[in-house]
Amino acid sequence: MAEQLKNIYTYDYLFNLSNKIKQNFEDFQSDEFLDSIFCKSWEEFELKQRMRHIAICLNQYLPISYENQLEILKKVSKEFSSYEAMFFQDFVEVYGLDDFENSIKALEVFTIDSSSEFAIRQFILKYEDETMSQMKLWAKSKDEHIRRLSCEGCRPRLPWAVALPKFKKNPSKVLEIIELLKNDKSKYVQKSVANNLNDISKDNPHLVVDFVKKNLGISKELDWICKHASRTLLKKSNEEILQLFNLGKSNHVNITNFNYDKEVILNGVLNFSFELVSQETLGNLRVEYEIDYLKSNGNHNKKRFMVSQNYIDSKTKTFTKKQQFKNLTTRKHYFGKHYLAIIINGKEFIKKEFILNDTSN
């Protein structure tokens, strides 16, 4: 079983943190700090709770002004990196909302070795104009991590982060950032641009359709951004997006030799296969399958999965797939009638019923 992310905060990790702070602030009470970290509730805390707890303890054992706290933490942060170092940003989020200037400078420093994408959102909510103006400046930075922050931080629906309701409704300020970054040569930044656009597509699909219309075919990098930004719209079979990616034609395709398991057991797999045939070259096809999962209330919930999206330079093509039916934290399976459908270029071609059975009795 994979190690839980929260367990990155070992005693050695936090002892090292304590030691680095002590080197920059001689009055730091290292032993007391560590005792406070490993309190009675520590084992119950999840990852983000542990980050917040570390931030609170840092504030408690750095009894100096916020500005001076930041000067110490900026120096110390250079010794730590990746997601586990995000307690530095969390410190700013908790204690720095009333000091915009110093907090923004600190988040810029912290993001280089980690990421300030979560903390910056509280500043967007409180100081929208000032923060977005700063993010425009960050979008022109020489450092790709700072440029990425300018885009990632204002995603309307950034996962595991507080949402930005105004930007979900009207993402015009976000699109200004995207325009500054859409030709960025860094893949790290390109991914953020595409993910931001994909967020926007969930509330304002027409804006992403317009973006693709204007930018598709200009460069290899922009083509990649357009495609990755359109993944939700493609899954939803948005007709305009399908046409823009030359995925509108499917009437020339037929499905033959469709075989599937009519009965599946929990913790087992659904096996299925099919062949695409045409009197002409199959061409540019997006092939997906969709499962209608039975819910506890007797209704069904559709989930679509990718099989292939490319140009098929032949008149036939066979696909063989399997889908696991194992309970997960994100999905619980219910015994009874389910459905399997094959989707080609957004069009449902075939749909069949199968049963999920309980073999425990």
The mean pLDDT of 237-264, rounded to a whole number, is 96
Whether residue 25 has pLDDT greater than 80: yes
Task: Indicate the pLDDT class of residue 1, thresholds 50, 70 and 90.
Answer: very low
Q: Tell me: the pLDDT tens digits for 187-208?
A: 999 999 999 999 999 999 999 9
pLDDT of residue 103: 98
- Is the pTM for the entire model greater than 0.85? yes
Of all residues in the chain, the percent with pLDDT exceeding 90 is: 95
pLDDT of the residue at 4: 81
- Which pLDDT band holds residue 2 (cuts at 50, 70, 90)? low
Q: What is the dihedral of CA 238, 239, 243, 245, to 10 degrees?
A: 10
105 SS3 class: helix
Going from the N-terminus, what domains does the chain have, and what CATH number goes with each?
5-244 (1.25.40.290), 254-357 (2.60.40.10)
Condensed to tens digits (0 to 9), the pLDDT of residues 67-82 reads: 999 999 999 999 999 9
Q: What is the DSSP letter of 161?
A: S
Whether the per-residue pLDDT at 360 is higher than 60: the answer is: no
pLDDT in tens, 46-67: 999 999 999 999 999 999 999 9
Q: Name residues whose C-beta falls within 8 Å of residue 68's C-beta, 6 or more positions apart in sequence.
A: none
| CA-only gyration radius of the chain, Å | 25
What is the SS3 string spanning 41-102?
Answer: CHHHCCHHHHHHHHHHHHHHCCCCCHHHHHHHHHHHHCCCCCHHHHHHHHHHHHHCCCCHHH
Closest by CA to 276, choosing from 333, 347, 221, is 347
Alpha carbon distance 154, 134 (integer Å)? 12
- Mean of per-residue pLDDT scores for the chain: 95
Q: What is the reported pLDDT for 77?
A: 96
The pLDDT value given to residue 7: 86
Q: What is the mean pLDDT of residues 316-332?
A: 92
> What is the token pair recorded at 158?
């950034």
Q: How does pLDDT run across 117-174, given as a tens digit for each residue?
A: 999 999 999 999 999 999 999 999 999 999 999 999 999 999 989 999 999 999 999 9
Rounded to 5°, the CA angle 38-84-121 comes to 110
Q: What is the pLDDT of residues 3-12, one digit of tens each?
A: 688 889 999 9
Higher-scoring residue by pLDDT: 358, 211:
211
